[in-house]
Structure 1
Amino acid sequence: MEPLHEDCGVALIRLLKPLEYYQQKYGTWMYGLNKLYLMMEKQHNRGQEGAGMACVKLNSEPGKEYMFRERAMGSNAITEIFGNLKDNYKDVTPEQLADASFAKENLPFAGEVFMGHLRYSTTGKSGIQYTHPFLRRNNWRAKNLCFCGNFNMTNVDEIFDQLTEQGQCPRIYSDTYILLELMGHRLDREVERNFVDAKSKGLEKTAITSYIEDHVDMSNVLKTTMKDFDGGYVVCGLTGSGEMFAMRDPWGIRPAFYYKNDEIIVLASERPVLQTTFDLECDEILELEPGTSLMVNKKGECSIQKILEPKEKQACSFERIYFSRGSDTDIYKERKKLGEQLTEPILKAVNYDTKHTVFSYIPNTAEVAYYGMLDGFKEYLNRKKLEAIESLDHQPTHQELEQILGEFVRSEKVAWKDIKLRTFISEGESRNDLASHVYDVSYGSIEPYTDNLVIIDDSIVRGTTLKESILRILDRLHPKKMIMVSSAPQIRYPDYYGIDMPHLEEFCVFRAAIELLKDNHMQYVIENVYHDCQNELKKPKEEMQNAVRGIYKPFTIEQINEKIVEMLRPDGVTTPIELVFQSIEGLHSAIPNHKGDWYFTGKYPTPGGTKNCNLAFVNYVEKVYQNE
């Protein structure tokens, strides 16, 4: 219901031919820039807080800029940065702008290596200083590093301590900055290693520079930089000498896809972005495997190198349910199956009365799951019709067949996402009143007091929009019963790998479990889990267990669902309401290749996730008692 923020999207392009080639074949040397723009726009769903892009010119002359960056804030950031870029060309004649050689020599962003980034903050930090790409400058081209990523690291505190113990003094405490500085430090060491090699071979002056740039091995940099990080990530970078790389975490938590031919090497966070931008078939695009890096050197030679030993793959299932574009061929099928699998529990909720049930969805991300749900009910009704015909002991009349075959799945677009209303009033009931109008309904779409109303959404997280808007506005249709369906299981645990779900108390499922414990005079469970979490935090993190799971053990899913309804029911709404969630088994059946389910099960793929979850519960309890 509530918009979740997934932390970022990335895009990389390496042109393998001179700019004149693209001018001649595609009519513009800006081929790389135009494709980068498309890739970023098609990943706009992944970040609307800010955007940035960077470019490197290969083989530039001393005294001329060769590394460029543009960043902007806000939902229109992509338009702004490319608008600013084009402003650089406003004083250039049309003839000069069409001259690839002139552009390469004189115009900013007329290069061969490009990187783009879309940002959603998962840390609460905002401002242009937190917008990727980050840049680390140096007079040696090979030591310049431009860096961006789709990631969240769980052990920044440990890495920070390592750096300070070495005598370093980081200026900013954030995973992005620390990662940039650590990687930059390792890049410096790699350059210096090659400097020593060059000197030992008797090389001097610019010959040393050429040797370094031809022999920098970014896999060495990544192996020494990333070995201690715990988290989900795709980290990308460019160097001033023309190296390009993208590395995926060993668990495969965050996604990355790439394609290469004799003209380009490209990478993006989502497969359909590459399919549409470059007119490709699905099977032409490859997934970057966990623990590996796509490496492109200064010469344009491409390789996939293992940086870290891959772990058991735990690709994020929420990417499939919600974040990634539903236009991906596999994601589309998976979301349909998630909806279809809910047929039986929905039937129970409406007491098998399909004749008086209307199906709809919360726009817009639940639409594909809705189609799957309709398919499930069509199949159910077809079976029901066949059984009715087969059970007849006589030749049916036209009227009998018409009566049997006449029942159909009733679907309507009941809920509409209204224009984005600006809640400019920040306090009290006035703000709540505005929030309640985020959605509108199709009046007359159901028979009042007779029809059940089934509404599917991709997930139910905080419950705020349900309480403040959805339930209240759907109640205006006066359904006999409302069944709110989630194509995802109950979200019980925080995410620490890039999704904006860091706090236990934000989840309506967690709040309901806590209230049930209080209702049943079982506060001792809260105390026991609190002490268990404290004890787990004393262990080495690799040995920790997630003690927070004990909060949910006393109750069934149905008991928690009933409590959620009680907590979220708006004042004055008396219509019966029931919640239906996807099962964990159903999730794995629909999405078998993306096993990352920690937000539902509490089984974190990395030690840092388990540690942070235990710490989150300790902080929650201490905050509650402190407030009391």
Structure 2
Amino acid sequence: MCGILAVLLASQNNVASEIAEGLQLLQHRGQDACGVVTCGPKGRFYQCKGNGMVRDLLDAKNLSQLIGGMGVGHARYPTAGSSAQSEAQPFYVNSPYGLVFAHNGNLINTDHLRYYLDHYAHRHINTSSDSELLLNLLADALQKTGKFRIDEDDIFRAIREVMQMTSGGYACTAMIAGYGIFGFRDPNGIRPMGWAKRKSETVPGGFDYMMASESVVCDALGYSDWTDIKPGEAIIVTQDGVKTMQCTPARTFAPDVFEYVYFARPDSVVDGISVYRARMAMGDALAATAKAQLDKAGIKVDVVIPVPDTSRVAALQLAQNLNIPYREGFVKNRYVGRTFIMPGQELRRKNVRRKLNAMALEFAGKNVMIVDDSIVRGTTSKEIIVMAREAGAKKVIMASCAPPIRYPCVYGIDMPSRHELVAHDRTEDEIAEYIGADHIIFQSLDDLVSSCQRLNPSIERFECSVFNGEYVTGGVDEAYLSHIEGLRNDNAKRKAGQQGAGPALVNINGANASNVVLASQPLGDVTGGGEVAGGGDISQVVGLSNENAGEAKESPSIVVGLDNQR
């Protein structure tokens, strides 16, 4: 569930600060790592990426080193691969052209693709990230053109080939040195992305363009005419304007319903659906379910309290429908990230206490209904209920705006192992007992889908596999689920994180260098390569170049991985 964006400015300079600001607006989609790659006036790439939050990595000093008027940004939330710094995006290859790539989602046929790239395309894959697979598939398809310079038709054909070879959910942005930016979306439209434009303040008659995961980024930065990229569609933006093409026939359009439940910001509009309005509708529907269950159980609720922030909208609507007081019983520490997307169960549990504090005034002596957007592993819910009881609550009723999550997600949300899901192989009563609630209320799947679908009736299906086990792309069987559970459960991630810990050291053609500032070759140079001579360990690297090979210069204190392919 990464956040991606790409920007092309008519003025052709100073794009980095705008990308950084956009990534901060997408920080909720990924807190593990972030990165920016820009393209300067000579077709050179400048990059800054590494583990950490946007505000920490992309400070004023580092941004000042990122030259150019177009670029790609990424905020990483790891679901495949490890948390090593080498897997921070955007990724880069220099053959057949300087190509930068950022990806949100997950592929489900990575073994097949890795075999193809190794045995047929002869492209080396340096990480365990499926994003790097996508980048090299795209580069291989572009190389098949055999052209010194490519045009839009070549790029569209290459994207079509990538879509035909891949299966899964993905939204991608990319940049070709000295040419422009482009993006595309999987044929089922599982992962979100759109684009917008604004009049340039410095170039008369010119326009700036942005692609992003969510509309809120473009709204906040003054872009207008937001347009969702259609399933199977690609868009290319150059200084000459915008071109779009349906690269492959759209399959069943099925945006991920979990975007509306949890991931997207409430002020975003995703595929024509206001996330805020969808959550209001979820609260309305949940209120009807709650009333029926509470009446049947003979439970009187004194107060409704949301788990901040994503459940606030639905909780307020539920309280109004039930005519029960709505109170903010939990105070949130805004400097602790989203616990759901933190790697490791123990870290999530500890950070619940650091993130939330219960006010006894709202809990003492009351029957409390706590409303959350969803219940995934149960870690957060269990800790929150303990906090409510410690604050004096008589009874704690847990209400979820989403149905029980019983199946793993394979399209880019960190729900890989069935055995880590609290609802897997448990009844609702057993879930309540496990998390310590007196009663638990779940939204029905029909009501959840209806809450979103009513706002855009043209969407006939949503990707709901985490609730019903029906995977829209097909190709997901028991063997596949067992395979990814072995690779992506918390224990596996912990081991991968330990192996990938420490600074990202890069070796270029066997030479070690220190404090190197590099940049990419102009579009059309298909020779690749570029040697760097010098002493010391490489720990501070920006970009890659043929033009300044061998030069060692001062650089900002930034750590990046470098993929010098072929």
Output the TM-score relative to the length of structure 1: 0.68
Q: 2:532: which partner in 1?
A: none
SS at match of 2:476: helix
Which structure has the greater CA radius of gyration?
1
Q: In structure 1, which of residues 55, 78, 85 is the aligned counterpart of residue 62 of structure 2? A: 85
SS at match of 1:475: helix
Matches within 5 A, 1:568-587: 568-569=435-436, 577-587=438-448
**What amino acid is aligned across from residue 422 of structure 2 in structure 1?**
C
Q: 1:186: which partner in 2?
A: 141
**Alpha-carbon shift at residue 180 of structure 1 (Å):** 1.9
Residue range with higher mean Cα deviation, 592-601 or 452-461:
592-601
Q: 1:79 to 1:577 in 2, by over 3 A?
A: same
Q: In structure 1, which of residues 51, 71, 74 is the aligned counterpart of residue 52 of structure 2? A: 74
**Alpha-carbon shift at residue 170 of structure 1 (Å):** 2.9
Q: Deviations over 1:433-461 (max 9, x none)?
A: 8865653222132562xx42111000001
Query: Larger helix proportion, structure 1 or 2?
Result: 1
Contact 2:8–2:180 (CA under 8 A) maintained in structure 1: no
Q: 1:320: which partner in 2?
A: 260
SS at match of 1:609: coil
Q: 2:504: which partner in 1?
A: none
Contact 1:57–1:66 (CA under 8 A) maintained in structure 2: yes
Contact 1:253–1:316 (CA under 8 A) maintained in structure 2: yes
SS at match of 2:371: strand
CA distance in 2, matches of 1:435, 1:272: 27
SS at match of 2:304: strand
Q: 1:215 to 1:460 in 2, by over 3 A?
A: closer
Contact 2:348–2:380 (CA under 8 A) maintained in structure 1: no
CA distance in 2, matches of 1:324, 1:484: 23
**Alpha-carbon shift at residue 237 of structure 1 (Å):** 0.9
**What amino acid is aligned across from residue 220 of structure 2 in structure 1?**
T
Q: 1:419 to 1:35 in 2, by over 3 A?
A: closer
Q: Deviations over 1:542-586 (max 9, x none)?
A: xxxxxxxxxxxxxxxxxx1111122233xxxxxx71010000110
CA distance in 2, matches of 1:131, 1:433: 25
**Alpha-carbon shift at residue 499 of structure 1 (Å):** 0.6
Q: 2:327: which partner in 1?
A: 412
Question: Is residue 245 of structure 2 the alignment partner of residue 331 of structure 1?
Answer: no
Q: 1:263 to 1:304 in 2, by over 3 A?
A: same
Q: 1:10: which partner in 2?
A: 4
Q: 2:220: which partner in 1?
A: 276
SS at match of 1:217: helix
CA distance in 2, matches of 1:431, 1:356: 29
CA distance in 1, matches of 2:345, 2:321: 43
Q: In structure 1, which of residues 375, 378, 387 is the aligned counterpart of residue 320 of structure 2? A: 375
CA distance in 2, matches of 1:215, 1:458: 42
Q: 1:236 to 1:436 in 2, by over 3 A?
A: closer
Q: In structure 1, which of residues 270, 291, 295 is the aligned counterpart of residue 232 of structure 2? A: 291
Q: 1:145 to 1:335 in 2, by over 3 A?
A: same
**What amino acid is aligned across from residue 215 of structure 2 in structure 1?**
R
Question: Is residue 307 of structure 2 the alignment partner of residue 362 of structure 1?
Answer: yes
Q: 1:135: which partner in 2?
A: 92
State the Cα RMSD in Å. Answer: 3.1
Higher relative contact order at CA 8 Å, sep ≥6: structure 1 or structure 2? 2
**Alpha-carbon shift at residue 234 of structure 1 (Å):** 0.8
Q: 2:500: which partner in 1?
A: none
Q: 1:461: which partner in 2?
A: 376
Contact 1:462–1:507 (CA under 8 A) maintained in structure 2: yes
Contact 1:51–1:119 (CA under 8 A) maintained in structure 2: yes
SS at match of 2:113: helix
Q: 1:259 to 1:167 in 2, by over 3 A?
A: closer
Contact 1:244–1:296 (CA under 8 A) maintained in structure 2: yes
Contact 1:358–1:453 (CA under 8 A) maintained in structure 2: yes
CA distance in 1, matches of 2:388, 2:235: 49
SS at match of 1:444: helix
**What amino acid is aligned across from residue 72 of structure 1 in structure 2?**
G
CA distance in 2, matches of 1:434, 1:57: 41
Q: Deviations over 1:325-382 (max 9, x none)?
A: 011261101001111211233224433879752111111221111122123224xxxx
CA distance in 1, matches of 2:345, 2:256: 37
**What amino acid is aligned across from residue 467 of structure 2 in structure 1?**
F
Residue range with higher mean Cα deviation, 334-343 or 432-441:
432-441
Contact 1:252–1:315 (CA under 8 A) maintained in structure 2: yes
SS at match of 1:227: helix
Q: Structure 2: which 5+ runs fail to align?
A: 199-205, 454-458, 488-566
Question: Is residue 138 of structure 2 the alignment partner of residue 160 of structure 1?
Answer: no
Q: 1:452: which partner in 2?
A: 367
CA distance in 2, matches of 1:304, 1:501: 34
CA distance in 1, matches of 2:367, 2:253: 41
**Alpha-carbon shift at residue 260 of structure 1 (Å):** 2.8
Contact 1:72–1:81 (CA under 8 A) maintained in structure 2: no
CA distance in 1, matches of 2:161, 2:6: 23
